[in-house]
Amino acid sequence: MVIIMLGAQGTGKGTVAGIISEHTGLVQLSTGDIFRKNIKEQTQLGIEANKYIAKGDLVPDEITVPMVVEYLDSEIVKNGVILDGFPRSLAQAEKLDKILAERGKKVDLVVNLTTPRDEIIDRILTRRVCSNPKCKTTYNLKMHPPIKEGICDKCGSELIQREDDSNEESINKRLEIYDNQTAPLVEYYRKKGILRTEEVSIRINRMGKQVASDIIKDIQEK
């Protein structure tokens, strides 16, 4: 099964994908994690990707797609995958359809998360992530703080703020890029009949855990 998570930064894609992964066995594949891994290891693709990420720009397809394909062809996703952060444009969506078709697969479900803009910005600025690459648990200093300040509840590693989460100007630029280049994917997948849109907002008291729980029930029923 192939699931795609859509939604602007800060809507909770990673949280929802992580919960679904935990309960279904589908592997969560985050392009952000792939980028950070390659940047940390100073691979050629990582070095090139960092030039764009540091400026808040979208990483070009010639860098992103090879990274994703490498993981799609690996053993870790043979039983299914949840794509978090890819595709981010119509061109990438079309390439993904072709890549999956060549492997006898297809996109089965697209989950589109929406959240008010001001709430998104506040969430990103107060977001902290476990520095342990095997854990990567996400916290929010206001809504979901760790028990011990600065320390991950699950593994005891230090919590960090990603560099691109600390600058409001950079956050707004990323959101503008999403509006211009990724939002059109909503219509693309709606026409295919595989889109599911969910609002995640503290204002309606519906957060990621509730959304993930409903999706898991539907997946299990199917």
User: Catalytic residue positions?
Assistant: 13, 88, 127, 162, 174
Contacts of range 200-205, beta carbons closer than 8 Å, 24 or more positions apart: 200/7, 200/11, 200/12, 200/16, 200/113, 200/114, 200/115, 201/115, 201/116, 201/119, 202/119, 202/143, 203/116, 203/119
Longest dimension (CA), the chain: 48
- Helix/strand/coil (H, E, C) string of 3-63? EEEECCCCCCHHHHHHHHHHHHCCEEEEHHHHHHHHHHCCCHHHHHHHHHHCCCCCCCHHH
Element (H, E) at 114: strand 109-114
HSE value, Cβ hemisphere, 13 Å, CA-based, for 129: 22
Handedness of CA 211, 3, 222, 197 (dihedral sign): positive
